[in-house]
Amino acid sequence: MVKENSKNRQDKWTIKNQVATLLSRMTLEEMIGQMTQVDQRAVEPSDVSRLSLGSVLSGGGSNPLPNTPKNWREMVLGLQEAALMTRHGIPLLYGVDAVHGHSNVVGATIFPHNIGLGATRDPDLVERVARFTAVEMSATGVYWNFAPCVAVPQDLRWGRTYEGFSENPEQVSVLGSAYVRGLQNRDHFGSPGTVLACPKHYVGDGGTRWGTTKQAEWLSNIEQAADYRYKIDQGDTQISEERLRAIHLNPYISAIKAGASSIMISFSSWNGVKLHAHKRLLTDLLKGELGFSGFLVSDWGAIDQISADYYQCVVASINAGLDMIMVPFKYQRFISTLEQAVNRGDVPIDRITDAVGRILTVKYQLGLFERRIDNEPKPEVMGSTGHRLLAREAVRKSIVLLKNDQKTIPLDRSIGNIVVAGPAADNIGLQCGGWTIEWQGGNGDITPGTTLLEAVRKTVSPGTTIYFDPHGNFPDLDRVDVGIVCIHEPPYAEGVGDRADLSLGLEEIDLIERVRPLCNRLAVIMFTGRPLIIKEQMPQAEAWIAAWLPGTEAQGITEVLFGDHTPVGKLPYTWPESMTQVPLGSFELVKKGTDNITPLFPLGFGLEAH
């Protein structure tokens, strides 16, 4: 809990008065403008001033061209200036998904995805990662991060498993709240280099059931996030209230205690009712019982899924307790519909002043009214050495050693010959995964960083010969002492990554088989957003390593491979033996060991190499 000193009390009092004064002067149109969030691709600065828009976002891959830190800064500042030119000069809140670093920006430091941070079990590290992320964001004038994702994923087939820290709600609570403290910098919230956190997606997004995702037939695939591929993402969480609270709610309680003042609502439903229309969970539970005084933002076009009648979508979501709507494109329609609903009395005006009061309060707390870009961290912090060193530390601590026969790890750095194979071994895009530069991530040199192959090169002695081939074809090679095979899941984000079968593909199986006979000892490194089915392939290699989706700094991997550091990562998810074990029953049963399932590796597993 934050101790209240007299300055704090005074700030609170001042903010309350400032908000009340502003509210008393605002027209309905100006208030609705504050509740509207539009994607950058759909607005010009003049629209921001004309409509008094409260927020603009860059969805995944909504980048300026060319995508440079400088252009990001200019894009955001251009829109911000337009907001300051409005009658009341209310600054704009610009939001992004900086979910593993400021990850849309070419040149930013890309940290491991949350699954890797979960393996570190280190709240202090997670807090520092979030702090550096906030610093890089602030350098571009962006002060709102749609993070941390505090989902508690219960089914590995979900394409957002890697966005969750763990299947264990306690771990998610500890690391999620550390992340909030990092972004907002505790008592310094509002000073340069700090940004607003937005825990998401409230609530039960990680508990949906396979096969329950429904397409809203009145929306086209472009309009709705969920297209035909989605199987569990945005689905229905079919559990009792007791289990909803026990598994999925606690991370929000911790995040609110840590100071979270915005929360994003989940696309998913709870027992058939869309969260975006769930007054009991939004207003009664979150704002009432839990005393949440910040504001609630919708997810991407999510209210459109409530009903075929857009008027009902707007009325139901605002009355349920949503304060800001991520429209994200057809904002004229949203604005006029909400205006009409208020004029007809279908949305009470008190609901509007409550929503706008909450948004303005947070804008004051974030210091938006005073912040000047000149006082913020300089653009040079983007991808700076210090930040990359922290990312490397996070990678190193996230590495989970699953098998280590014949003391294969640590490898000897003065080894004579070494084989490195796999399409992901020299590929920043595949190493980073989804939500990197583009929404779905990318392939190849999408942003500067160090690949695994480059990290090996930097580590081994000058006398070592490295043989590399992405496909493991080494026709002229005699036997070498050590081989490293890197297998990967192709990048994905959200429901695009929903996968019924997590077995290795033929290409990966062939790759391992091709390299196996060439080396005395083989280590397999996995770039993956979740545990994969590897039981049959495990005997083929002496060492198996889960490196998750590490981001740009693969030297964190070689520091463990070559013994500068002993591995400390522990599995954040239970590792199943076969698909029949997925989903692994309920978390509580697995934890108590009363589920009669023996997984390949239990939650918390991780060897140390000695």
The window from 60-68, 213-221, 286-294, 311-319 that contacts ligand BGC (CB under 6 A) reads 60-68
Q: How far is the CB of 479 from ligand BGC (least distance, A)?
A: 48
Cβ distance 201 to 265 under 8 Å? yes
Q: Which residues, 485 to 524, sit near ligand BGC by CB under 6 A?
A: 494
Cβ distance 93 to 139 under 8 Å? no
Q: How far is the CB of 294 from ligand BGC (least distance, A)?
A: 16
Question: Between β-strands 55-58 and 93-96, what pairing exists: parallel, antiparallel or unpaired?
Answer: parallel
Helix (H) or strand (E) holding 37: strand 36-39
The CA distance from 33 to 339, in Å, is 10
Q: How far is the CB of 62 from ligand BGC (least distance, A)?
A: 5
36: left (phi over 0), alpha (psi -120 to 50) or beta: beta
Q: How far is CA 10 from CA 3, 90, 256, 269, in A?
A: 13, 21, 22, 41
Exactly one of 300, 527, 548, 575 binds ligand BGC (CB under 6 A); that residue is: 300
Exactly one of 111, 144, 146, 202 binds ligand BGC (CB under 6 A); that residue is: 146
Q: How far is CA 582 from CA 210, 500, 576, in A?
A: 10, 9, 7
Q: Is residue 59 a contact residue for ligand BGC (CB under 6 A)? A: yes
Q: How far is the CB of 112 from ligand BGC (least distance, A)?
A: 18
The CA distance from 586 to 231, in Å, is 19
Cβ distance 459 to 413 under 8 Å? yes
DSSP for 134-183?
HHHHHTTT--EE---B------TTSTTGGGSS-SSHHHHHHHHHHHHHHH
426 is known as an active-site residue: no
- The token duo for 143 is 């002060």
Question: Between β-strands 325-326 and 262-264, what pairing exists: parallel, antiparallel or unpaired?
Answer: unpaired
Q: How far is the CB of 182 from ligand BGC (least distance, A)?
A: 18
The window from 54-62, 238-246, 533-541, 578-586 that contacts ligand BGC (CB under 6 A) reads 54-62
Question: Between β-strands 262-264 and 295-297, what pairing exists: parallel, antiparallel or unpaired?
Answer: parallel
Q: Which residue is nearest to ligand BGC (CB)?
A: 59
- The token duo for 517 is 């006979």
The CA distance from 66 to 98, in Å, is 19
Q: Which of 30, 299, 323, 426 is catalytic?
A: 299
Exactly one of 439, 474, 562, 573 binds ligand BGC (CB under 6 A); that residue is: 439
Give the 3-state secondary structure of residue 9.
helix
- Give the residue from 234, 239, 230, 218 showing the smallest Cα distance to 275: 234
- Give the residue from 199, 137, 116 showing the smallest Cα distance to 391: 116
Q: Is residue 299 a contact residue for ligand BGC (CB under 6 A)? A: yes
Q: Which residues, 154 to 213, sit near ligand BGC by CB under 6 A?
A: 200
The window from 57-65, 110-118, 131-139, 517-525 that contacts ligand BGC (CB under 6 A) reads 57-65
Q: How far is the CB of 143 from ligand BGC (least distance, A)?
A: 15
Q: Is residue 97 a contact residue for ligand BGC (CB under 6 A)? A: yes
Exactly one of 33, 45, 60, 235 binds ligand BGC (CB under 6 A); that residue is: 60
Amino acid at 12: K
Backbone angles phi, psi at 63, to 5 degrees: -115, 155
Q: Which of 163, 205, 393, 494 is catalytic?
A: 494
- Cβ distance to ligand BGC smaller for residue 160 or 287: 160
Q: Which residues, 452 to 471, sit near ligand BGC by CB under 6 A?
A: none
Cβ distance 542 to 524 under 8 Å? no
Exactly one of 38, 197, 225, 382 binds ligand BGC (CB under 6 A); that residue is: 225
Q: How far is the CB of 299 from ligand BGC (least distance, A)?
A: 5
Q: Is residue 63 a contact residue for ligand BGC (CB under 6 A)? A: no
How many residues at the interface with ligand BGC, by CB under 6 A? 12
- Cβ distance to ligand BGC smaller for residue 179 or 439: 439
583 upstream amide cis, omega within 30 of 0: yes
The window from 1-9, 59-67, 331-339, 477-485 that contacts ligand BGC (CB under 6 A) reads 59-67
60: left (phi over 0), alpha (psi -120 to 50) or beta: beta
Exactly one of 33, 54, 61, 199 binds ligand BGC (CB under 6 A); that residue is: 61
Q: How far is the CB of 8 from ligand BGC (least distance, A)?
A: 30
- Cβ distance to ligand BGC smaller for residue 393 or 494: 494
227 is known as an active-site residue: no
Which sequence positions are flagged as catalytic? Answer: 299, 494
Footprint of ligand BGC (CB under 6 A): 59-62, 97, 146, 200, 225, 299-300, 439, 494
